[in-house]
Amino acid sequence: MLNVVIFGAPGSGKGTQSDLIIKEFGLDHISTGDVLRAEMKEGTELGKIANDYVAKGQLVPDELIIDMLAKVLDGKKGSKGVIFDGFPRTIPQAEALKKMLNERDMDVTLMINLHVEEDELINRLLERGKKSGRQDDNIDTIKSRLEIYHSKTAPLAEYYIKEGKHHAIKGVGTIEEIFERIKEKINIHL
């Protein structure tokens, strides 16, 4: 099993690189942002609660996300491995992921941390916002997302450094160049 956590600020390219990793390595993809957007679109109970947080660029409470992830993970039984995109985002989420995987005789194989400077992140998200229809791709919400990323999510890098699983990647350049850098790191673990 190859379980990859893809990590980075909003707009760092987690979703873009996940698509390429899935094609190359035949992994399943779990993006908590995508799952939440689907729940919001369907108007489920979870979707209604999540909407207020996502619209403000805040994190959805850990218990809700962990519960949601456990259900999605159980739907991926028999998979070659999973790429976790946008999860974990807090220490309790990282601990819950470790527990969930250990209970299924698995673990996180590696964590890829995409580094992109703030101006570039903002430009990418504003550009995407012109056609994405994402309610959080506007300047005010982007700023909140970045603040929350720095205060609550970025410290998780330290957690994965301690676990010996952290790989920093320069997330600037062409999509293909960045993918080559990621592949080098994944290949070490195959």
What amino acid positions are annotated as catalytic residues? Answer: 14, 89, 128, 134, 145
By a kind-dependent CB cut-off of 5 to 8 A, residue 57 interacts, out of ligand AP5, Mg ion, none, with ligand AP5
- Which of 6, 12, 15, 27 is the binder for Mg ion (CB under 5 A)? 15
**Nearest to 178, CA basis, from 26, 34, 15:** 15
- Which of 7, 27, 30, 57 is the binder for ligand AP5 (CB under 6 A)? 57
For Mg ion, give the closer residue by CB, 14 or 167. Answer: 14
Sheet of 82-85, strand order: 28-31, 82-85, 4-8, 110-115, 166-170
- Determine, following the binding rule CB under 6 A, whether residue 113 of this chain makes contact with ligand AP5: no
- Determine, following the binding rule CB under 6 A, whether residue 178 of this chain makes contact with ligand AP5: yes
Q: Counting beta carbons within 10 angstroms of the beta carbon of residue 57, is it exposed (0 to 12), middle (13 to 18) or buried (19 or more)?
A: buried
CA angle 127, 130, 136 (to 5 degrees): 85
For Mg ion, give the closer residue by CB, 14 or 29. Answer: 14
Restricted to residues 62-91, the positions that interact with ligand AP5 (CB under 6 A) are 65, 86-87, 89
3, two tokens: 């379980």
- Determine, following the binding rule CB under 6 A, whether residue 156 of this chain makes contact with ligand AP5: no
- Determine, following the binding rule CB under 6 A, whether residue 10 of this chain makes contact with ligand AP5: yes
- Determine, following the binding rule CB under 6 A, whether residue 29 of this chain makes contact with ligand AP5: no
Distance in angstroms (rounded) separating the CA atoms of residues 98 and 177: 30
Residue 15, C-beta contacts closer than 8 angstroms, at least 6 positions apart? 31, 33, 34, 85
CA 101 to centroid of chain Cα atoms: 17
- Which residues of this chain interact with ligand AP5, rule CB under 6 A? 8, 10-16, 32-33, 36, 53-54, 57-60, 65, 86-87, 89, 93, 124-125, 128, 136, 145, 175, 178
